[in-house]
Amino acid sequence: MKAAWYRRQGPAQEVIEVGEMPSSPVGAGEVRVRLACSGLNPSDIKRRKGFNGQPHAFPLIIPNSDGAGVVAELGPGVQRLAVGDRVWVYSAQWKRPHGTNAEEVVLPVQLVQPLPQRVSMAYGACVGIPALTAHRALFADGPIVGQTVLVQGGAGAVGHCAIQMARWGGAKVIATVSSAAKAESARLAGADHVINYQKEDVSAQVMQITQGEGVHRIIEVAFGQNLPITQQVLRPHGVISCYASDAQPTPVLPFYAFMMKNQTLRWVFMYELQPDALLSALSDICLWLSGAGARGTPRPIVEHVDRVFALEETAQAHDYLDSGQAGANVVIRVSDIT
């Protein structure tokens, strides 16, 4: 099979190799997926760079956790899927050497989920990490029907999914973005209100939109940087779900400000969800993808893929996502499966 891999951490142009690789055998409870597309996430870049002191965990790594394709082979005992099924996969490279940046991948069946015909392979490769993170952030503390949710970074991969799933969950959505193009992307995803966090006073706008009440939930991508906003707009008994704080990894927390309002600080790390939380997320995501189960007004899936690279361009794809110029969802097309 054709694949891209790296044998040591370092700059993409130096360490990423592309070539032929032997296929892996399929064991009991496993599935071989012939991949169409592989989704590239910031965590894949961080792993290749050794962000936060992450070690190079395997001698040779085929990167990327997310992907989409068709089932090619079932291992002994697998009944839930059939050969030829369209599927999306997640966590393929989490604690495993071989991810989805290749023509095929062999995975435990629970990491392989049905992909409805109405969803493209390119967007299917962008479901895993973003949708699981968004679902956990939105629903970990119960239903959100009738609530108002602030999605910080609404044009990002996780943010864009969070807007769509918040609407699916029956909530009103306020999103922050940094440009007119990203504002349009957030509106198309279903945001009721969009605020440019680089040009506008986010807190003042949110309080005006909510008639001084504030929001029930915040889905947070920049926890440390946005703490002042959180303090001003999160309602008493509200929940802030945070999944990243890259610019300020060690923020100073105003303890009593949160305590006095009985607010909840929810940490989200999608790779290590509890089994029940994971099952609930997977079943809801599959409902959402198939257009069912909406607590709010049913809406079509809004597919947002910023750019698609060829397998041979894997290093360029890494550099593009790492540049900070990329929009949500960078994909590597690894075969011509559609």
**At which residue do the structure tokens 């360029």 appear?**
316
- Phi first, then psi: what are they for 29, rounded to 5°? 75, 10
Q: Should residue 248 be labelled a site residue for ligand NAP when binding is judged by CB under 6 A?
A: no
Identified binder of ligand NAP from the candidate list 91, 93, 176, 230, rule CB under 6 A: 176
Site string for ligand NAP, 112-131 (x = CB under 6 A): -----------------x--
Q: Least distance from C-beta 130 to ligand NAP, angstroms?
A: 6
Nearest distance in Å: CB 70, ligand NAP: 25
Using rule CB under 6 A, residue 244 touches ligand NAP: yes
Q: Which of the ranges 56-64, 105-113, 139-147, 220-228 carries the binding residues for ligand NAP, by CB under 6 A?
A: 220-228
Residue number of the CB closest to ligand NAP reads 156
Question: Contact between 255 and ligand NAP (CB under 6 A)?
Answer: no
In contact, 235 and 258? CB cutoff 8 Å = no
Total residues in contact with ligand NAP, by rule CB under 6 A: 28
Least distance in Å: CB of 54 to ligand NAP?
11
CA–CA distance, 99 with 6 (Å, rounded to integer): 12
Minimum distance between the CB of residue 328 and ligand NAP, rounded to whole angstroms? 4
Neighbours of 116 (CB within 10 A): 14
The residue from 157, 173, 286, 334 that contacts ligand NAP (CB under 6 A) is 157
Distance, first Cα to last Cα, the chain: 18
Contacts of ligand NAP in 313-332 (CB under 6 A):
328
- Quick check: 285 binds ligand NAP (CB under 6 A)? no
- Angle, in degrees to the nearest 10, between helices 314-322 and 42-49: 100
Taking CA atoms, 247 is separated from 101, 140, 222, 226, 250, in Å, by 28, 25, 7, 10, 9
Question: What CA–CA distance (Å, rounded) separates 28 from 43?
Answer: 29
Q: E strands along 128-287, which residues? A: 148-151, 172-177, 193-196, 215-220, 234-242, 264-267
Angle ∠(276,279,282) on CA atoms, nearest 5: 150
Do the beta carbons of residue 209 and residue 203 sit within 8 Å?
no
**What distances in angstroms separate CA 267 from CA 46, 219, 237, 270, one per listed residue?**
19, 10, 16, 10
Residues 7-46 that bind ligand NAP (CB under 6 A): 41-43
- Distance, CA of 219 to CA of 74 (rounded, Å): 38
Residues 222, 158: Cα–Cα separation, whole Å? 12
Task: Kindly state whether residue 133 participates in binding ligand NAP, applying the rule CB under 6 A.
Answer: yes
| 61/137 with CB nearer ligand NAP | 137
Stretch that binds ligand NAP, among 23-31, 155-163, 183-191, 232-240 (CB under 6 A): 155-163
Closest approach, Cβ 5 to ligand NAP, in A, equals: 21
The pair of structure tokens assigned to 123 is: 């967007």
Task: Tell which one of 243, 258, 288, 320 touches ligand NAP (CB under 6 A).
Answer: 243
* Binding range to ligand NAP, per CB under 6 A, among 205-213, 266-274, 285-293, 312-320: 266-274
Which of the ranges 26-34, 55-63, 78-86, 264-272 carries the binding residues for ligand NAP, by CB under 6 A?
264-272
The footprint of ligand NAP on residues 46-105 (CB under 6 A) is: none
Distance of closest approach, residue 7 Cβ to ligand NAP, in angstroms:
23
The contact set with ligand NAP (CB under 6 A) reads 41-43, 129, 133, 152-153, 155-159, 176-178, 182, 197, 221-222, 225-226, 243-244, 246, 268-270, 328
